[in-house]
Chains A and B, each alone.
Chain A
Amino acid sequence: NAGVTQTPKFRVLKTGQSMTLLCAQDMNHEYMYWYRQDPGMGLRLIHYSVGEGTTAKGEVPDGYNVSRLKKQNFLLGLESAAPSQTSVYFCASSYGGDRYGYTFGSGTRLTVV
Protein backbone atom coordinates (compact mmCIF):
# COMPACT_ATOMS: atom_id res chain seq x y z
CA ASN A 1 0.00 0.00 0.00
CA ALA A 2 2.38 2.68 -1.25
CA GLY A 3 -0.11 5.56 -1.55
CA VAL A 4 1.85 8.70 -2.49
CA THR A 5 5.61 8.39 -2.88
CA GLN A 6 7.92 11.38 -3.13
CA THR A 7 11.53 11.29 -4.25
CA PRO A 8 14.01 12.40 -3.14
CA LYS A 9 13.42 12.79 0.59
CA PHE A 10 16.26 15.25 1.11
CA ARG A 11 18.28 17.45 -1.23
CA VAL A 12 20.74 20.29 -0.98
CA LEU A 13 21.10 22.54 -4.01
CA LYS A 14 23.33 25.46 -4.82
CA THR A 15 21.72 28.70 -5.94
CA GLY A 16 21.04 28.56 -9.65
CA GLN A 17 20.97 24.77 -9.93
CA SER A 18 17.93 22.94 -11.23
CA MET A 19 16.15 19.85 -10.03
CA THR A 20 12.94 17.87 -10.36
CA LEU A 21 10.88 16.45 -7.54
CA LEU A 22 8.87 13.36 -8.39
CA CYS A 23 5.49 12.43 -6.96
CA ALA A 24 3.93 9.06 -7.77
CA GLN A 25 0.55 7.73 -6.64
CA ASP A 26 -0.92 4.28 -7.12
CA MET A 27 -4.55 5.02 -6.19
CA ASN A 28 -5.77 6.09 -9.63
CA HIS A 29 -6.49 9.58 -8.30
CA GLU A 30 -7.41 12.25 -10.84
CA TYR A 31 -6.26 15.25 -8.81
CA MET A 32 -2.71 15.96 -7.69
CA TYR A 33 -1.23 18.90 -5.80
CA TRP A 34 2.13 20.34 -4.81
CA TYR A 35 2.38 22.32 -1.56
CA ARG A 36 5.26 23.93 0.25
CA GLN A 37 5.42 24.11 4.03
CA ASP A 38 7.31 26.89 5.76
CA PRO A 39 7.48 27.72 9.47
CA GLY A 40 4.59 29.93 10.53
CA MET A 41 3.07 29.85 7.03
CA GLY A 42 1.20 26.56 6.99
CA LEU A 43 0.89 24.87 3.60
CA ARG A 44 0.68 26.92 0.44
CA LEU A 45 -0.40 25.53 -2.90
CA ILE A 46 2.19 25.80 -5.68
CA HIS A 47 0.56 24.02 -8.64
CA TYR A 48 -2.09 21.41 -9.12
CA SER A 49 -3.53 19.10 -11.76
CA VAL A 50 -7.11 17.98 -12.34
CA GLY A 51 -6.15 15.11 -14.64
CA GLU A 52 -3.51 13.68 -16.93
CA GLY A 53 -2.07 16.33 -19.21
CA THR A 54 -3.45 19.27 -17.20
CA THR A 55 -1.76 21.70 -14.82
CA ALA A 56 -2.80 24.94 -13.13
CA LYS A 57 -1.23 27.58 -10.91
CA GLY A 58 -1.85 27.74 -7.22
CA GLU A 59 -1.10 30.43 -4.68
CA VAL A 60 2.70 30.58 -5.02
CA PRO A 61 3.66 29.32 -8.52
CA ASP A 62 6.59 31.63 -9.34
CA GLY A 63 9.91 29.87 -9.85
CA TYR A 64 8.31 26.44 -10.31
CA ASN A 65 7.05 24.40 -13.24
CA VAL A 66 5.08 21.16 -13.28
CA SER A 67 4.13 18.39 -15.64
CA ARG A 68 1.59 15.56 -15.54
CA LEU A 69 2.36 13.40 -18.56
CA LYS A 70 1.08 10.26 -16.84
CA LYS A 71 -1.88 10.06 -14.51
CA GLN A 72 0.14 8.54 -11.69
CA ASN A 73 3.03 11.03 -11.77
CA PHE A 74 3.25 14.73 -11.00
CA LEU A 75 6.64 16.39 -11.38
CA LEU A 76 7.71 19.68 -9.79
CA GLY A 77 10.66 21.46 -11.36
CA LEU A 78 12.89 24.23 -10.13
CA GLU A 79 14.76 25.70 -13.10
CA SER A 80 17.08 28.03 -11.15
CA ALA A 81 16.91 27.42 -7.42
CA ALA A 82 16.93 30.34 -5.00
CA PRO A 83 17.41 30.36 -1.20
CA SER A 84 13.77 31.46 -0.85
CA GLN A 85 12.80 28.03 -2.18
CA THR A 86 14.27 26.32 0.85
CA SER A 87 11.25 24.50 2.21
CA VAL A 88 9.55 21.17 2.76
CA TYR A 89 7.55 20.15 -0.29
CA PHE A 90 4.50 17.92 -0.05
CA CYS A 91 2.65 16.21 -2.82
CA ALA A 92 -0.96 15.12 -2.38
CA SER A 93 -3.57 13.36 -4.47
CA SER A 94 -7.32 12.86 -4.33
CA TYR A 95 -10.30 11.49 -6.23
CA GLY A 96 -11.82 14.95 -6.22
CA GLY A 97 -14.71 16.03 -4.05
CA ASP A 98 -14.82 16.37 -0.30
CA ARG A 99 -15.63 12.79 0.53
CA TYR A 100 -12.17 11.35 1.02
CA GLY A 101 -9.80 14.25 1.51
CA TYR A 102 -6.24 14.15 0.29
CA THR A 103 -3.53 11.52 0.61
CA PHE A 104 -0.16 13.14 1.28
CA GLY A 105 3.35 11.99 0.62
CA SER A 106 5.98 12.12 3.34
CA GLY A 107 7.66 15.22 1.96
CA THR A 108 10.93 16.40 0.41
CA ARG A 109 13.16 18.64 2.47
CA LEU A 110 15.00 20.98 0.10
CA THR A 111 17.77 23.34 1.14
CA VAL A 112 19.14 25.90 -1.31
CA VAL A 113 22.48 27.39 -0.30
Chain B
Amino acid sequence: GDSVTQMEGPVTLSEEAFLTINCTYTATGYPSLFWYVQYPGEGLQLLLKATKADDKGSNKGFEATYRKETTSFHLEKGSVQVSDSAVYFCALMSGGSNYKLTFGKGTLLTVNP
Protein backbone atom coordinates (compact mmCIF):
# COMPACT_ATOMS: atom_id res chain seq x y z
CA GLY B 1 0.00 0.00 0.00
CA ASP B 2 0.87 3.66 -0.09
CA SER B 3 3.20 5.03 2.56
CA VAL B 4 5.17 8.16 3.37
CA THR B 5 8.35 8.31 5.41
CA GLN B 6 9.67 11.61 6.67
CA MET B 7 12.61 12.43 8.85
CA GLU B 8 12.17 12.08 12.56
CA GLY B 9 12.04 15.24 14.57
CA PRO B 10 12.22 17.38 16.38
CA VAL B 11 14.34 19.74 14.32
CA THR B 12 15.69 22.83 16.07
CA LEU B 13 17.29 25.64 14.09
CA SER B 14 18.38 29.19 14.61
CA GLU B 15 16.69 31.98 12.72
CA GLU B 16 18.00 32.39 9.15
CA ALA B 17 19.34 28.83 9.02
CA PHE B 18 18.73 26.55 6.04
CA LEU B 19 15.99 23.95 6.42
CA THR B 20 15.64 20.53 4.85
CA ILE B 21 12.99 18.00 5.87
CA ASN B 22 13.34 14.73 4.00
CA CYS B 23 10.34 12.86 2.63
CA THR B 24 10.25 9.64 0.63
CA TYR B 25 7.25 7.69 -0.51
CA THR B 26 6.01 4.33 -1.75
CA ALA B 27 3.01 4.29 -4.04
CA THR B 28 1.56 2.60 -7.06
CA GLY B 29 1.55 4.66 -10.21
CA TYR B 30 2.32 8.35 -10.12
CA PRO B 31 0.92 10.01 -7.03
CA SER B 32 0.50 13.70 -6.31
CA LEU B 33 2.64 14.96 -3.44
CA PHE B 34 1.90 17.55 -0.79
CA TRP B 35 3.38 19.33 2.18
CA TYR B 36 1.02 20.48 4.92
CA VAL B 37 1.86 22.66 7.92
CA GLN B 38 0.21 22.63 11.33
CA TYR B 39 0.73 25.61 13.61
CA PRO B 40 0.18 25.10 17.35
CA GLY B 41 -3.47 24.54 18.22
CA GLU B 42 -4.63 24.65 14.61
CA GLY B 43 -5.63 22.31 11.82
CA LEU B 44 -3.43 21.48 8.86
CA GLN B 45 -2.95 23.94 6.02
CA LEU B 46 -1.74 23.13 2.52
CA LEU B 47 1.76 24.55 2.09
CA LEU B 48 2.66 23.37 -1.41
CA LYS B 49 2.12 20.55 -3.86
CA ALA B 50 3.41 18.89 -7.02
CA THR B 51 1.36 16.67 -9.28
CA LYS B 52 3.95 15.18 -11.64
CA ALA B 53 7.60 14.26 -11.83
CA ASP B 54 10.09 17.15 -11.84
CA ASP B 55 7.41 19.65 -10.78
CA LYS B 56 8.52 22.10 -8.12
CA GLY B 57 5.98 23.31 -5.59
CA SER B 58 6.69 26.57 -3.76
CA ASN B 59 5.01 28.86 -1.27
CA LYS B 60 6.12 31.31 1.44
CA GLY B 61 9.79 30.66 0.64
CA PHE B 62 9.42 26.88 0.94
CA GLU B 63 10.16 24.61 -2.01
CA ALA B 64 9.96 20.92 -2.82
CA THR B 65 10.70 19.07 -6.06
CA TYR B 66 8.96 15.84 -7.10
CA ARG B 67 11.79 13.36 -7.81
CA LYS B 68 10.39 10.19 -9.33
CA GLU B 69 13.78 8.48 -9.65
CA THR B 70 14.41 8.74 -5.90
CA THR B 71 10.71 8.73 -4.86
CA SER B 72 11.35 11.84 -2.82
CA PHE B 73 9.77 15.22 -2.11
CA HIS B 74 12.12 16.99 0.30
CA LEU B 75 11.02 20.31 1.81
CA GLU B 76 13.55 23.18 1.81
CA LYS B 77 13.72 26.79 2.87
CA GLY B 78 16.75 28.99 2.58
CA SER B 79 16.26 31.13 5.68
CA VAL B 80 13.80 30.09 8.38
CA GLN B 81 12.00 32.47 10.71
CA VAL B 82 10.64 32.01 14.22
CA SER B 83 7.15 32.10 12.70
CA ASP B 84 7.96 28.92 10.72
CA SER B 85 7.90 26.90 13.95
CA ALA B 86 5.26 24.24 13.33
CA VAL B 87 4.73 20.57 12.49
CA TYR B 88 5.25 19.71 8.82
CA PHE B 89 3.55 16.74 7.16
CA CYS B 90 4.43 15.16 3.86
CA ALA B 91 1.51 13.43 2.11
CA LEU B 92 0.61 11.66 -1.11
CA MET B 93 -2.55 11.08 -3.09
CA SER B 94 -2.68 8.13 -5.46
CA GLY B 95 -4.87 7.96 -8.51
CA GLY B 96 -7.98 5.88 -7.96
CA SER B 97 -7.80 6.30 -4.20
CA ASN B 98 -10.97 8.38 -3.93
CA TYR B 99 -8.60 11.30 -3.40
CA LYS B 100 -7.51 10.04 0.01
CA LEU B 101 -4.35 11.55 1.44
CA THR B 102 -1.76 9.32 3.10
CA PHE B 103 0.34 11.26 5.60
CA GLY B 104 3.79 10.87 7.06
CA LYS B 105 4.18 11.07 10.82
CA GLY B 106 5.09 14.74 10.85
CA THR B 107 8.24 16.65 11.75
CA LEU B 108 8.26 19.26 14.49
CA LEU B 109 10.34 22.31 13.61
CA THR B 110 11.36 24.82 16.25
CA VAL B 111 13.14 27.99 15.18
CA ASN B 112 14.91 29.98 17.88
CA PRO B 113 15.65 33.70 17.62
Contact = CB atoms under 8 A, between A and B. Distances in A.
Interface residues of A, number: 28
Nearest to B104: A42
Given A98-B99, A102-B101, A42 B89 contact: yes
Interface in A11-65: 31, 33, 35, 40-45, 48, 50, 56, 58
A104 B103 contact: no
Interface in B46-100: 46, 49, 51, 89, 93, 98-100
A44 B34 CA distance: 16
B103 A42 contact: yes
Nearest to A100: B46
B49 A45 contact: no
Contact of A45 (B34, B89, B100, B106): B100
Nearest to B47: A101
Interface of B: 32, 34, 36, 41-46, 49, 51, 89, 93, 98-101, 103-106
Given A42-B106, A50-B98, A104-B43, 7 more contacts: A31-B99, A42-B103, A92-B43, A99-B51, A101-B46, A102-B101, A106-B42
